[in-house]
Structure 1
Amino acid sequence: MEFKLIKKDKQSSARLGVVTTGRGEIQTPIFMPVATHGAMKPLTPAQITETGAQIILSNTYHLHLQPGEGLVKKAGGLHKFMAWDKPILTDSGGFQVFSLPNKRITDEGVFFRHEVTGDEIYLDPASATRIQQDLGADIIMAFDECIPYPCERQYAEQSTKKTIRWLKECQRAMTDNGQALFGIVQGSVFEDLRAYCAREMRALDLPGYAIGGVSVGEGLELLKKVVAWTAPHLPEDKPRYLMGVGLPEDILESVERGIDMFDCVIPTRYARSATLFTRRGKIRLTNKNYKRDFFPVDPSCTCYTCGNFTRAYLHHLFVSNEVLSAVLSAIHNVHFYLNMMAEIRTAIADNRFMEYKSRFLAEYLEGNRRTKQ
């Protein structure tokens, strides 16, 4: 994997770049739709491609449980198994250290309890790396501890040092098969810990670097601070990935601070609950106001859904509990995100990112305020 920094915005730290992998190029800044189990609810790979997706994300922990990395490897790897020929990034399971109940964290690894069978599942840096190598992802993530918010300073310091140690164990477990290992900078909301972790990881000369432990309840203002503290300590010639982010306003603020890659379940999760993104804010299509609304979801949108269907039709689908409601809504939301990223890239190329951000947020946030009234 190679990264080329093409241009930096003159008025901010926004960056235009390209990540080159064996399965194609990724234009950055980019949003990565999430296919946790090797499938993106509720879209086919062809539909995902049509939204403009360049890379998707799958999850190591969940694929380890079902169907198991051995079966995926026997099938020819995750790309062939799910019929996706573009790049894939796999999370290591570190977020599950934060999100799942009934786990036990040790200095060596983490014991999970299967949510259905109650069986004990153990992951450590070496096993998480091996699983990802068997899955065959193009970019794999180091196993880390995603620190909860809020937490005590002493716990954050101990956990951050553990994450650095685990990263080195992941490096030792790697075999040379063309995959790129990214480290994950932790440190909670403590500026010196973020800087320390970033410097320690930078010294390892990794293919790329992620910022983890955000979007865990700290809010947008603290998220902006964490990114601003961390990004300057990461090398300019490597991609920077902000994990689990997020809403359009989160992405725009983070691009301004030098982030290249994003992922989140929000576009598809919101779609399944009838919440769709538009340039004038989010709308909830189960609202009775849309029963006789014959406009597209977003009149400015060029996606398949907006080109063929009305808000009234989608309202009908949701009220009728039709599966198609989630499909058409997910197509729109994912397209909205990826179109926004394309506009961001164009704005950076033209040295007008801050103007674009200001105009986009003024319209989008004002629309959200009107919707809440």
Structure 2
Amino acid sequence: MAGTEFVVVGGGVIGMMTTLQLAEAGHTVTLVERGLCGRESSWAGGGIVSPLYPWRYGPAVSQLSRWSEGFYPELARRLKEESGIDPEYRQKGLLYLRVDDADAALAWADELGKPLERVGADFLYAREPEAAPGFEEALWMPTLGSIRNPRLVRALQARLAAMPEVTLREGAEVTGFEVAGGRALAVKTDAGPIAAGQVVVCGGAWAAGLLETLGVALPVRPVKGQMILFKAPPGLVQRVVLMDGRYVIPRADGRVLAGSTLEECGFDKTTDARARESLWASATAIIPALADCEVEHHWAGLRPGSPDGVPFIGGVPGIDNLHVNAGHYRNGLVLAPASTRLLVDRLLGREPILDPAPYSLAGRL
């Protein structure tokens, strides 16, 4: 049974960024993914590099978000150079329409020194001429960026595939762990066991099921989100626009994503006409001209829901070399750079970028 320094379980954006950082530090890593890397929630989301309403989150999420937001421009540049795939990071800001807690938002921004301002109709329609008419004001966050997440995960996968330190094991399903003497000796897969010095579980919505094989009850559950994609002409929508909890996100080629639903229905990823109609209604309420555009695609993904949306990052109590990074809920892509760096710092004995205590499994299980 061949061994490797690290085995990372789960090939989403969390698992791939963990693998990348460990490999760049010179360590051998085997990344195990039951399907294709990046094809679950990392592929299904919208790619906004911020929580939707960041002032509504506690400090644990906010600290990870702030660190990650500043990391994405350089990450996108590096991945484009190293993989030849452009993740299409766009920093064109976000317009909030009809925010009922605008005063709280502005107070939050003032406290943190975050650019956020109340703007009038002239400002709003100068930037988004096709936004729904009749708004006298909006909130404007000029620094917000978005990334084309399917291209981000393709770039990450291509980068990892080219690294000699990395072994990609796609199409291999993890069925459990071999544990003895308080250590995980190997990761069991349907293609045989993989021995490891350290094991990191980045299984997203499936992480709880993996740890359940060890009698560990991780409170992470699947929460379905459905989205639609409009084939719109380039320039119809220039930046992210958010209203009543729903959003539209433009891509460089003109396509516009609209999302998303929040549904508690287990591991069901089917789409349905009611959700499609609801998403279409929300999108066309934000940008009425989208009503004339074809809906090109409709899909669903499963977010890893957790209490208060605070991820679990750290060691599994009682098993010295087993670690978890899961439970990011709606903000997996948003928080990925900071949450993976935080765990890799711990794995490699480095000074952590943030206090790891709020994310620890101890006391939260």
**Fold-level match, TM-score > 0.5?**
no
Indicate the structure with greater strand content. Answer: 2
TM-score (norm 2): 0.27
Structure with more of its chain in helix, by fraction: 1
TM-score by length of 1: 0.26
Q: Which has the higher contact order (CA 8 A, sep 6+)?
A: 2
